[in-house]
Amino acid sequence: MTGFITAFVEALTPKGFDNIAVPASNAIVLFILYKSSFSFVSSLSNNAIIAGVVVGLVLAFSGIILKALTWDGAIAGLYFGLVILGLGSWTWGVMYFTFFILGSLATFLGKNKKKSISQEFEKGDTRRDSVQAMVNSVLPAFLAFLVILFRDPIITVIAGGAIAVSLADTLGTEIGALSKFKPRSSIKPWVKTEQGSPGAVSILGLLASVLGAVIIAFSGFGVSFIDNYTVFPTSMWAFIIPVIVGGLVGSYFDSIFACTIQKLNRCTICEKITEKKVHCEVETEYYSGVKWLRNDFVNLFSIIVGAIVSLLLYFIWMF
Ligand SMILES: [Zn+2]
């Protein structure tokens, strides 16, 4: 079983990520097998597990066919989704898969319209790959681990905040790119900037982010009613407010990080500032930011920021 998982994870993780991903995913799988006597997994009927896997597979394949996901992105998303569902129960699983579905859908819808803009991003290909899937899943998966050890509602709130950042950021980026108005700089909102430039935010993008955070908060809250296994705050607003605010703050920090600490390059031909390694078919030169800090790390940091905000707000609410 673990041998199979190792080969599987190694096959889908590019660029040295497997050094971390393989032991981590093995630990998770071993842990599920070992602890399944008291985790949520053992209380599910076989039919429910099969239904979950089938639905997940359909979603993953739709993502590939619609060109919203790469193969490895779809497999990684499905894998983490099942870990999060298995350990965190329906409430967690629905929040995660809501992000997975709507994030892929937004990527698909915006794909054609923003082809020219996407050239400015580090990954010219707009499909979501396994590194991006992992960046969005690693904290919820780790928290799903914790919640079966320490059955405290605060862990569900933090996970909700983390997933809310992911959807808020994805919808903000994908839908914001369709804005007809010029965006503004996230650190200097009084300055108008070019569409697609690092750290640019538009009103449309901000509204889409709010929508993303609200959707995650209410999907988690809605499912918690019919979920007997979840660990959920007794007060509705102690969940909803921290998740929405954490999601929004985290996704805004993503835009701030993108134009401050993220590594940015300059095109030697057209002088544009870009995340890309190649622009105008020539290799770009280093311009600003921390040299190892590429966009995937920026996403991960913003998820952590959002999760911390959710945690703090929950504390303030409860005490
Ligand atoms: Zn250029």
pLDDT digits (tens, 9 = 90+) for 133-148: 899 999 999 999 898 8
CA distances from 244 to 138, 148, 156, 209 (A): 20, 24, 13, 10
Residue 197 C-alpha to ligand 1 middle, in angstroms? Answer: 12
Predicted pLDDT of residue 118: 54
Predicted pLDDT of residue 125: 63
The residues, any chain, with a CB within 8 Å of residue 71's CB and separated by 6 or more, are 12, 64
Instruction: State the residue range of the domain holding 196.
Output: 36-318
Is 19 part of a structural domain of the chain? no
What's the CA gap between 250 and 160, in Å, rounded? Answer: 12
Is 226 part of a structural domain of the chain? yes
What's the CA gap between 274 and 33, in Å, rounded? Answer: 45
State the total domains in the chain. 1
What is the 3 state secondary structure string of 238-287? HHHHHHHHHHHHHHHHHHHHHCCCCCEEECCCCCCEECCCEECCEECEEE
> What is residue 283's DSSP assignment?
E
Residue 268 C-alpha to ligand 1 middle, in angstroms? Answer: 7
Q: Which residues of the chain have pLDDT under 50?
A: 1, 13-20, 37-38
50-80 burial, b at 16+ Cβ within 10 Å, e below that, comes to eebeeebeebbebbbeeebbbebbbbbbbbb
DSSP string, 24-84: HHHHHHHHHHHHTTTSHHHHS-HHHHHHHHHHHHHHHHHHHHTTSB-HHHHHHHHHHHHHH
Is 2 part of a structural domain of the chain? no
Is 9 part of a structural domain of the chain? no
Predicted pLDDT of residue 172: 95
Is 71 part of a structural domain of the chain? yes
Predicted pLDDT of residue 157: 97
Is 233 part of a structural domain of the chain? yes
* Alpha-carbon dihedral sign for residues 131, 99, 160, 168: positive
Predicted pLDDT of residue 123: 55
Residue 200 C-alpha to ligand 1 middle, in angstroms? Answer: 18
Residue 267 C-alpha to ligand 1 middle, in angstroms? Answer: 5
Residue 277 C-alpha to ligand 1 middle, in angstroms? Answer: 11
Predicted pLDDT of residue 168: 98
Residue 271 C-alpha to ligand 1 middle, in angstroms? Answer: 6
What's the CA gap between 209 and 172, in Å, rounded? Answer: 5
Residue 272 C-alpha to ligand 1 middle, in angstroms? Answer: 6
Query: How many other CB atoms are there within 10 angstroms of residue 146's CB atom?
Result: 16
Residue 198 C-alpha to ligand 1 middle, in angstroms? Answer: 14
Query: How many other CB atoms are there within 10 angstroms of residue 154's CB atom?
Result: 20
Predicted pLDDT of residue 219: 96
Q: What's the helix, strand, coil split of the chain in %, to 5?
A: 65, 5, 30
Is 8 part of a structural domain of the chain? no
Residue 131 C-alpha to ligand 1 middle, in angstroms? Answer: 26
Predicted pLDDT of residue 47: 65
Residue 117 C-alpha to ligand 1 middle, in angstroms? Answer: 13
Predicted pLDDT of residue 150: 87
Predicted pLDDT of residue 229: 82
**Tens digits of residue pLDDT in 4-50:** 555 555 555 444 444 445 555 655 565 555 555 445 555 565 666 67
Predicted pLDDT of residue 2: 52
Is 256 part of a structural domain of the chain? yes
Query: How many other CB atoms are there within 10 angstroms of residue 101's CB atom?
Result: 16
Residue 285 C-alpha to ligand 1 middle, in angstroms? Answer: 11
Q: Which residue has the tokens 């095109």?
A: 267
Residue 230 C-alpha to ligand 1 middle, in angstroms? Answer: 51
